[in-house]
Amino acid sequence: MDLRLVGHPGDPEAGGSSCGCGRGCGDGCPPWAALGLGLARHPDDALVVRRAVRDRTGEVVDFRCEWANETAERNAGRPLRGATLRESYPTVDPALLSLMRRLLESGGSADTEFALSDDSPEEVLRGRVFSSFLTAVDADRVVCQYRDVTELRRAERALQHQAAHDDLTGLPNRRALREHLDRALARLPRGSRTLLLALGDLDGFKEVNDTLGHHAGDEVLQVVAERLRHAVRPQDLVARYGGDEFCLLCEDVGEQHASALLERVRRTVAQPLRLTGGQRVRVGITVGHVATALPVPADDVLRRADAALYERKGRARA
């Protein structure tokens, strides 16, 4: 935010009049309305002046709105003047209140971002995200200038998801797998069990593609992806490694559980499936896996899993 407070609005340096607005209107002007003039360069920004509400001990328990511009009230979907922060935003993050208290104590300012809960009782407020600049202008008042960045954050999340996931199956892609694997290996020294990485290649997939076409092949990949999700534990990762290859990353597994999981994966994938065109097809999966209890480099783990996969495929062809 570009809002800057130079001196106190009641100081001649801040506006040249007793109220601070620079218009010579005297004491009848809302004391902080002068700050609204700063919105000329940012007409879409909201501006609110909030005064501390204190309990009998002098502790700040909330902040009441003394002045708000039209943008602020439009964002809130209701009048703000006279209402406390909790009354205006029932699901406000308590951390925002704590920050505003600290600003009163320090006389400082802060850039922050706050989000309203998706369960907010008012639909207009659900999931809204605001980027804000807060400044304490005296021992009781905080000026809040903010803008709605909800759509921007949604677009950013969508781009991040797209960069880390396969478009066809919705599974994490190879890049995301590598990031998860790096983190999982880094956690190994703190555990007593092993990490399992399994790389699987579909058997019979090329025949489906060649005889029924790529649309049928895409549908098979989508069905297999869903079956793999259900074959593993909720905390395990299933990723599309590329083409007709899938990867499973499972933390904190013992040898017996690993064997049972891999057998369940093979049985689940091998079940016949009916395509939307009515054709019944069947594919299988060959899996190579590696288990490690040591934080070895991720490239080594992937290389060993790949070698184990092709060794198994070689044995199946022999």
Looking at the structure, tell me whether residues 42 and 113 fall in a common domain. yes
Confidence (pLDDT) at 4: 27
Evaluate whether residue 6 is within a structural domain.
no
Write the CATH number for 102: 3.30.450.20
Looking at the structure, tell me whether residues 221 and 311 fall in a common domain. yes
Q: How far apart, in whole angstroms, are the C-alpha atoms of residue 63 and residue 50?
A: 5
Confidence (pLDDT) at 273: 93
The string of DSSP codes covering 83-117 is -BHHHH-TT--HHHHHHHHHHHHHT-EEEEEEE--
Looking at the structure, tell me whether residues 212 and 134 fall in a common domain. no
Confidence (pLDDT) at 207: 94
Evaluate whether residue 7 is within a structural domain.
no
* Residue positions annotated with a catalytic role: 244
Residue at 203: amino acid letter: D
Confidence (pLDDT) at 7: 29
Evaluate whether residue 1 is within a structural domain.
no
Evaluate whether residue 135 is within a structural domain.
yes
State how many domains the chain has: 2
Looking at the structure, tell me whether residues 195 and 286 fall in a common domain. yes
pTM over 0.85: no
The string of DSSP codes covering 258-290 is HHHHHHHHHHHHHS-EE-TTS-EE--EEEEEEE
Evaluate whether residue 266 is within a structural domain.
yes
Looking at the structure, tell me whether residues 188 and 144 fall in a common domain. no
Evaluate whether residue 2 is within a structural domain.
no
The strand pairing partners of 142, in sequence order, are 50, 136
Evaluate whether residue 62 is within a structural domain.
yes
Print the domain residue range for 97.
Answer: 12-153
245: its two tokens: 């290859």
Looking at the structure, tell me whether residues 190 and 298 fall in a common domain. yes
Evaluate whether residue 310 is within a structural domain.
yes
- Which of 153, 187, 213 is the C-terminal boundary of a domain? 153
Looking at the structure, tell me whether residues 178 and 308 fall in a common domain. yes
Going residue by residue through the chain (318 aa), what tens digit of pLDDT does each one get?
232 222 233 333 333 333 333 334 444 444 444 455 555 556 678 889 999 999 999 999 999 999 888 888 888 888 999 999 988 887 777 888 999 999 999 988 888 887 776 666 666 667 788 888 888 888 999 988 888 888 898 999 899 998 999 999 999 999 999 999 999 999 887 666 789 999 999 999 999 999 999 999 999 999 999 999 999 999 999 999 999 999 999 998 888 888 999 999 999 999 999 999 899 999 999 999 999 998 899 999 999 999 999 999 887 776
Looking at the structure, tell me whether residues 173 and 247 fall in a common domain. yes
Write the CATH number for 223: 3.30.70.270
- Which of 105, 121, 153 is the C-terminal boundary of a domain? 153
Q: How many CB atoms lie within 10 A of CB 3?
A: 19
Which position has the token pair 């478009």? 167
Looking at the structure, tell me whether residues 225 and 147 fall in a common domain. no
Looking at the structure, tell me whether residues 184 and 299 fall in a common domain. yes
Looking at the structure, tell me whether residues 170 and 271 fall in a common domain. yes
DSSP H or E run through 52:
strand 46-54
Looking at the structure, tell me whether residues 136 and 206 fall in a common domain. no
